[in-house]
Amino acid sequence: MRQLAIALVLVSAATLTGRAAWALDQVAIGVNPSVSAGATFIALDKGYFRDAGLDVDVQIIESTSTSMALLATNRVQVIEGGIAAGYWNALAQRLPVVLAFERGSTPLYHELMLSPARKDTIRAPADLKGHTIGLSGPGSVSYYEVAKVLESAGLSLKDVEIKNIPYPQTGAALASNAVDAALEIPPFGDDAVAHGFAVRWIDTDDYIRPQPVDVLAHFANTDWIALNRKAADAFFAALLRGVRDYCQAYHRGPNRGEVEAIFLKHKLARDHEMIESMAWSSRDPNGRFNLASLLDIQDWLAREGTITAKFPADRLVDTSFAESASARLPPFALANPQSKLAGCR
């Protein structure tokens, strides 16, 4: 009888465990592993997604442009990355995608870097004419950022040669003189500088208006949202907890060490020294977009002929996720009010 009782207890426990696992909503998210992705990994490692009743599968992606098809076909429910022309083209094709949550805004610490061989000959944006620039991918927001720098000198992208190079490979391209300049983001730019592959030159934040500039986002599948609204709201509310932890660490709050450990675990930086020396991209602690920035990106893409249709702000962004997520949490307040860093507040 004792053995039977133990067996029944074990079967009951297994059944309950199975039900608990089955009850978790499955969400797949495509992540580009740069510094601002830290918030996603914080939410994952600290159990914020699981607390919200979600089983989140993180899949590594290289660029938003290539992963938009995965999102549109619901093979992943959320992707994060740069706001690119592919998003407008997806809207024009009536694909089920929408901007749902901000992922990176001013200060971005995106830098136009130089090949060491060019540091003495390229001194101002006007000197870029006729030179080769490395950008992350066709139609990516990196084109918009560099175009703003060129426009300050009366130039356009037609005045330079563009080579499409993923961020992790840009340092090697600069070192080998395959390109003369390139747009880099943390931590890849910091790594390139640390190895002597690149020379810091221009911070694009100094050239882009209106600000804050929104160039990174979380995109969501609207078919998934329609059928799983509760899970979608829960996902972004849990993500916002990770965003706020990220922002506290950004301002060197008491959780800095814990967040740095998560960065290292997920290879968002090479080592502790890099984390300490590099700039972290800012985020909005309420997940909100600057709609004026998005509309400026849209206008530029239309002028370039990269997109064929423009949309009103309420079609570009579903603001309800940021509104719902921030309403679930208390107002954001810095744990380190002495911080002088801009952004993430």
Residue 60, CB-side half-sphere exposure with 13 Å CA sphere = 5
User: Which runs of E-coded beta strand occur in 106-227?
Assistant: 111-114, 132-135, 161-164, 181-184, 199-203, 214-221
Q: Are 81 and 36 in contact (CB under 8 A)?
A: no
| Listed residue (148, 175, 150) closest to 161, CA to CA | 150
The CA distance from 226 to 222, in Å, is 6
**Model confidence pLDDT, tens digit, residues 92-132:** 999 999 999 999 999 989 999 999 999 999 999 999 999 99
The percent of residues in the chain predicted with pLDDT above 70, rounded, is: 93
The CA distance from 128 to 148, in Å, is 13
Return the domain boundaries, the chain. Answer: 22-105+213-328, 111-206
218 band by pLDDT with thresholds 50, 70 and 90: very high
The percent of residues in the chain predicted with pLDDT above 90, rounded, is: 79
What's the farthest any 2 CA atoms get from each other in the chain? 88
Q: Taking residues 259-271, what's their average pLDDT?
A: 92
Predicted pLDDT at 63: 67
Q: Taking residues 17-33, what's their average pLDDT?
A: 75
- pLDDT of residue 19 exceeding 50, the answer is no
- pLDDT of residue 12 exceeding 50, the answer is no
**Model confidence pLDDT, tens digit, residues 237-263:** 999 999 999 999 999 999 999 999 999
The CA distance from 157 to 198, in Å, is 22
Q: What is the pLDDT of the chain when averaged over all its residues?
A: 91
The CA distance from 321 to 229, in Å, is 10
**Tokens representing 188?**
């890849």
Indicate the CATH number of 22-105+213-328 among 3.40.190.10, 1.10.630.10, 2.30.110.10, 3.60.15.10. 3.40.190.10
48 band by pLDDT with thresholds 50, 70 and 90: very high
The three-state secondary structure class of 282 is strand
Indicate the CATH number of 111-206 among 1.10.10.10, 3.40.190.10, 1.10.357.10, 3.30.360.10. 3.40.190.10
